[in-house]
Structure 1
């Protein structure tokens, strides 16, 4: 006869968080528990298993090998329980469940519309949505805090599967009165030494911009780093510099944001939005249905008004370099 566990799901969930985060304090914060409660649950586990699970390390703690083994077993149990809940839901149709999904910051302009379409078909599904920069979304995937993610530049690790959703053109924007807006075509060499605004490190838009600049051999002057699309737009409109930004982050008429799309050779930078998930984890029924939903009803790019560059002044050839 298979022996029954001497632990509870709550204890295992606490142990998993402590091992993953390497800290009782951070585990308590994530689980919304007090530190004494977390410490007590770890102590109870150690007594039940007659094994040391954490050791002092400086001012903190270090999980032992036994704790790593227990975490792996707990994750297997959690996955098996998830499969049971999925199968139970499938018996009655997808009436309840939770979709845990994250999107990089630019998705805030459209991801709610996608989720609304999905919940209209599945009104019993609760949504847990996080919107953060690329590095934070990747970390959530690694830590299994989410099942699905929408991003532009998926990482190599953890191994992912995904489906393309829609194009994400990155356009060069400048203030309304910028001299480049009077050219029919702006040569790429004019970026050399130009004041450029970038998103923060870890942003997919920044990674794509830097990769494009390297490929083009261009060396602008990095004037400022800003932490959001809205901050970038306001700074460009104020004349602080030019910037590459997703077309989805701009109004249908960019002039409403106080900017203009610059007709530079080689732009827009063409990228795609991807819906991704971990290849080594089984998706919940709610997540699988969302993937099927997005495949069956691919999102359409938001309506945009194309940029209309002014005629080239006399003597300008508009040649791209």
Structure 2
């Protein structure tokens, strides 16, 4: 029986991931007929179809899903091998593939500045995405590490907490509640809120906090970034709940105010995350150790 080649595995993985021969061909810089021929070659060797077309869409057969799983495992191992061998010479000359969620971007940028100060020769490739996209990057082994705030259970990930992340209620400085020395949860819940999209870790923490106290917040607008929420709160469109550590500039310039709400801040955490089965390169290991050595934000952090 003929053996499948690594090239065939890589080509089929691209087809299966894109569910498109043309998109896979563009990604691999090959012609579509060449990609189709390679997939047909795999099917000939295995003696069963790997894809089926329903209407205009391509779907994987059961055999196709098995081959995809094997392809991902093989190519991930090879990528790890090539990447780690390239980094063995020196931490100073390596590269780091890092992804962060948009919530932690401002803090991660400060961490990277300090890390590059210690290792100026390291090339950093930083991606800022939403939580779902960061998890996909981890699952497909396209990054070394991620920094995020909510790590789902059930996935084979290694997640280590390294910093507290207090969430606070923000308002325009001239908001009536900003002048109060104590704000009740009932007062806050009566106000319109600007919230992140469904699935956001910040939104989930906010909704769980109020639900546990028998309250429901009134959402006036849903936004896809923390920056959009900051600007909308400044414009007086509603209140918001964001990480205190991302508000330094706005608070210093008195563009926003942190409300003194009972029970706040909501204390969450940031984690450095990687695949549990991934052997970290020297650079990735150095970055992880650097992050874990950072001073933690005290649990008694309160807005002033």
- Residue in structure 2 matched with residue 298 of structure 1 by the alignment: 294
SS of the residue 1:277 aligns to: strand
1:7 aligns with 2:34: no
**How big is the shift at 1:223?**
0.8
**How big is the shift at 1:122?**
4.4
**How big is the shift at 1:111?**
1.4
1:231 aligns with 2:228: yes
1:168 aligns with 2:165: yes
Residues 257 and 133 from structure 1, CA distance in 2 versus in 1: closer, same or farther, beyond 3 angstroms?
farther
1:200 aligns with 2:197: yes
Give the one of 213, 217, 226 matched to 1:216: 213
- Residue in structure 1 matched with residue 68 of structure 2 by the alignment: 71
Query: What TM-score do the two structures reach when normalised by structure 2?
Result: 0.85
Conserved in 2, the CA contact under 8 Å of 1:97 and 1:126?
A: yes
Conserved in 1, the CA contact under 8 Å of 2:250 and 2:256?
A: no
Conserved in 2, the CA contact under 8 Å of 1:170 and 1:247?
A: yes
Give the one of 156, 159, 165 matched to 2:156: 159
Q: Deviations over 1:85-113 (max 9, x none)?
A: 36634653346544222111022212133
1:265 aligns with 2:238: no
Conserved in 2, the CA contact under 8 Å of 1:86 and 1:285?
A: no
* Partner Cα distance (1:91, 1:184) in 2: 56
Query: What TM-score do the two structures reach when normalised by structure 1?
Result: 0.81
- Residue in structure 2 matched with residue 129 of structure 1 by the alignment: 126
**How big is the shift at 1:39?**
2.9
Equivalence map 1:1-321=2 (5 Å): 5-9=3-7, 11-28=8-25, 31=28, 35-47=32-44, 51-85=48-82, 88-89=85-86, 92-94=89-91, 96-123=93-120, 125-252=122-249, 254=251, 256=253, 258-295=255-292, 297-298=293-294, 307-308=303-304
Unaligned residue ranges in structure 2 (runs of 5+) = none
* Partner Cα distance (2:279, 2:20) in 1: 28
SS of the residue 1:163 aligns to: strand
* Partner Cα distance (1:91, 1:226) in 2: 43
Conserved in 2, the CA contact under 8 Å of 1:160 and 1:276?
A: yes
Residues 35 and 178 from structure 1, CA distance in 2 versus in 1: closer, same or farther, beyond 3 angstroms?
farther
Residues 13 and 260 from structure 1, CA distance in 2 versus in 1: closer, same or farther, beyond 3 angstroms?
same
Q: Deviations over 1:66-92 (max 9, x none)?
A: 333333333343344345436634653
Residues 177 and 121 from structure 1, CA distance in 2 versus in 1: closer, same or farther, beyond 3 angstroms?
closer
* Partner Cα distance (2:160, 2:136) in 1: 20
SS of the residue 1:213 aligns to: helix
Aligned residues: 302
Conserved in 1, the CA contact under 8 Å of 2:190 and 2:218?
A: yes
Residues 284 and 165 from structure 1, CA distance in 2 versus in 1: closer, same or farther, beyond 3 angstroms?
same
Conserved in 1, the CA contact under 8 Å of 2:88 and 2:282?
A: no
Structure 1 segments of 4 or more deviating over 6 A?
A: none
Unaligned residue ranges in structure 1 (runs of 5+) = 309-321
**How big is the shift at 1:230?**
1.5
SS of the residue 1:168 aligns to: strand
* Partner Cα distance (2:167, 2:302) in 1: 13
Query: Please, what is the CA RMSD of the aligned residues?
Result: 3.1
